């Protein structure tokens, strides 16, 4: 009974902060409400017994991604009017070719993953897991899900390069 009450309170707070994220006019306050939302989701993970996911939620989302959001919000002047001229160094064809290559890679990943049989990801209820939950996640991450893991790392690298380009106007 107590866990259900805690679950419903956390769920209501998560929904409340999500509404505040999209309805607040100040962008910095919106990002801070997003941090609170991520921390409450981590508490929800702890409640259901997924401690590893809770730690990853705090480290990756509440730590890394929100810091990236704050840098973008503080570096980009949102009150400035849009630029009227085009950058002559812009390479639209190269960007389109790279986007097409990434799209082809994603299609290949989807086709490959749908063609191969899926392995059971977690132990059934009542079974004891030798080595624990973290070891199982590690084995799955670096064997069956290596390609999506690498794609996620490439996306984070692109986001980091984009933040650097936004921060430094003159290259």
Interval 81-130: pLDDT, tens: 666 666 777 788 888 999 899 899 888 888 887 887 655 555 554 555 56
Residue at 30 is within a domain: yes
Same domain, 7 and 48: yes
pTM for the full predicted model: 0.53
- Which of these, 171, 4, 7, 9, lies nearest to 91 by C-alpha position? 171
Q: CATH code at 23?
A: 1.20.120.1200
How many CB atoms are closer than 10 A to CB 33?
A: 20
Same domain, 8 and 56: yes
Phi, psi of 146 (to 5 degrees): -70, -45
Compute CA distances 169 → 75, 103, 162, whole Å. Answer: 11, 28, 11
How many CB atoms are closer than 10 A to CB 12?
A: 11
Residue at 117 is within a domain: yes
* Average of per-residue pLDDT across 152-166: 82
Domain count, the chain: 2
- What pLDDT sits at residue 159? 83
Residue at 83 is within a domain: no
* Average of per-residue pLDDT across 146-171: 80
Q: Which of 78, 107, 125 is the last residue of a domain?
A: 78
Same domain, 72 and 112: no
Residue at 14 is within a domain: yes
- What pLDDT sits at residue 71? 75
Percentage of the chain surpassing pLDDT 70? 81
User: Among the residues of the chain, which ranges form H helices?
Assistant: 2-23, 27-47, 51-56, 66-75, 92-115, 133-142, 146-167
Q: Which domain holds residue 9?
A: 1-78
Same domain, 105 and 147: yes
* Average pLDDT taken over every residue of the chain: 81
- What pLDDT sits at residue 118? 58
- Matching residue, tokens 């079974």: 127
Same domain, 54 and 119: no
- What pLDDT sits at residue 5? 92
């Amino acid at each position: 009974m107590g866990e259900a009450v805690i679950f419903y309170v956390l769920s209501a707070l998560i929904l409340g902060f999500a509404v505040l994220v999209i309805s607040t006019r100040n962008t910095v306050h919106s990002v801070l409400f997003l941090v609170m939302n991520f921390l409450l989701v981590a508490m929800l993970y702890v409640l259901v017994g997924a401690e590893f996911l809770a730690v990853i939620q705090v480290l990756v989302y509440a730590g890394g991604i929100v810091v990236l959001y704050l840098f973008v919000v503080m570096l980009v002047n949102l009150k400035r009017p849009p630029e009227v001229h085009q950058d002559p160094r812009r390479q639209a064809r190269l960007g389109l070719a790279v986007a097409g290559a990434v799209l082809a890679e994603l299609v290949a990943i989807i086709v490959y993953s749908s063609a191969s049989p899926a392995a059971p990801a977690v132990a059934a209820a009542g079974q004891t897991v030798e080595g624990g939950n973290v070891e199982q996640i590690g084995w799955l991450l670096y064997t069956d899900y290596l390609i999506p893991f690498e794609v996620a790392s490439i996306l984070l690298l692109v986001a980091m390069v984009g933040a650097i380009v936004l921060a430094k106007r003159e290259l």
